[in-house]
């Protein structure tokens, strides 16, 4: 079955039958044209509150905060952080046209990740030639993103290489200064006393 994602078409994997197939179609419908519909926006709002609190949320489920490129207003959205070879990455499950990708680029890569605490980060775009193993790892740790990718999470790496240019990947670098870390250690010592 051929499906649209944003302005591009891709072949839907044929092994998505029954309940799983229906669920995947609903999830793609929620982000038709690369933007969340009303239901997806409501669910994202709940997820932002849940992921930010860090309560009963896996440690790779976080909230991304980035200023809007037009208004400057802080935009918050739920994300799944992929870990690969000891590094952390954000992946756009909706591809190049996702608003958060445009906002991050306009902000020069400056953003905040929240999971209990706030972490100021720098997001640096990863070259398309290096994205394939990160995309595969992302599909392992972000089940909600699987319906938006035209390959199965267990597909060979060469299939991920074919689609890598369509899905932006950002390397996460923490911008915690030594002074901030020293201050945190000092306050932890004070709490223990």
pLDDT band at 184 (very low <50, low <70, confident <90, very high): low
Top-confidence range, 6-10, 11-15, 38-42, 82-86: 82-86
More confident residue, 13 or 99: 99
* Number of residues in the chain: 193
Q: Which residue segment(s) compose the domain that 12 sits in?
A: 2-192
Tokens linked to 178: 């030594």
d(CA 171, CA 175): 13
**Contact 107/66 with Cβ under 8 angstroms?**
yes
Q: What is the pLDDT of residues 28-60, one digit of tens each?
A: 888 887 789 999 999 999 999 999 999 999 999
Q: Give 8-44 as a DSSP string.
A: EEEEPPTT--HHHHHHHHHHHHHTGGGS--HHHHHHH
Residue bearing the bigger pLDDT, 134 or 175 = 134
Query: Residue 67: which H helix or E strand, with range?
Result: strand 61-67
- What is the domain-level CATH number for residue 42? 2.30.110.10
Q: Hey, which residues does 173 pair with through a beta bridge?
A: 122
Number of structural domains in the chain: 1
Q: Is 20 left (phi over 0), alpha (psi -120 to 50) or beta?
A: alpha
Nearest residue to 97 (alpha-carbon basis) of 3, 4, 6: 6
Question: Taking each helix axis from N to C terminus, what angle separates 18-30 and 38-53, rounded to the nearest 10 degrees?
Answer: 90
Nearest to 174 by CA among 125, 118, 127, 128: 118
Q: What confidence category does residue 7 fall into, taking pLDDT thresholds of 50, 70 and 90? A: very low
DSSP state of 6: T
Specify whether the CB–CB gap between 64 and 79 falls below 8 A. yes
Residue 45 has which token pair? Answer: 């709002």
- Given a cut of 60, whether residue 159 has pLDDT beyond it is yes
**Number of Cβ within a 10 Å radius of residue 104:** 25
Burial class (CB in 10 A: 0-12, 13-18, 19+), 122: middle
Question: Token pair of 150, please?
Answer: 């035209």
């Amino acid at each position: 079955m051929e499906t649209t994602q944003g302005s591009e078409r891709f072949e839907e994997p044929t092994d998505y039958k029954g309940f799983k197939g229906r669920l995947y179609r609903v999830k793609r419908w929620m982000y038709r044209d690369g933007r969340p519909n009303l239901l997806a926006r409501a669910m994202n709002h709940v997820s932002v509150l849940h992921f930010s609190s860090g309560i009963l949320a896996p440690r790779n489920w976080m909230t991304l905060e980035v200023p809007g490129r037009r208004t400057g207003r802080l935009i918050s959205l739920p994300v799944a952080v992929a870990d690969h070879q000891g590094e952390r990455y954000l992946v756009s499950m909706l591809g190049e046209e996702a608003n958060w990708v445009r906002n991050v680029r306009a902000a020069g890569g400056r953003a905040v990740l929240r999971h209990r605490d706030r972490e100021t980060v720098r997001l640096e775009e990863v070259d398309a030639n290096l994205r394939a193993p990160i995309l595969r790892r992302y599909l392992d740790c972000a089940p909600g993103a699987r319906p938006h990718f035209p390959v199965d999470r267990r597909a060979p790496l060469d299939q991920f290489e074919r689609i890598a240019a369509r899905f932006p990947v950002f390397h996460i670098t923490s911008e915690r200064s030594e002074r901030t870390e020293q201050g945190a250690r000092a306050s932890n010592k004070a709490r223990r006393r």
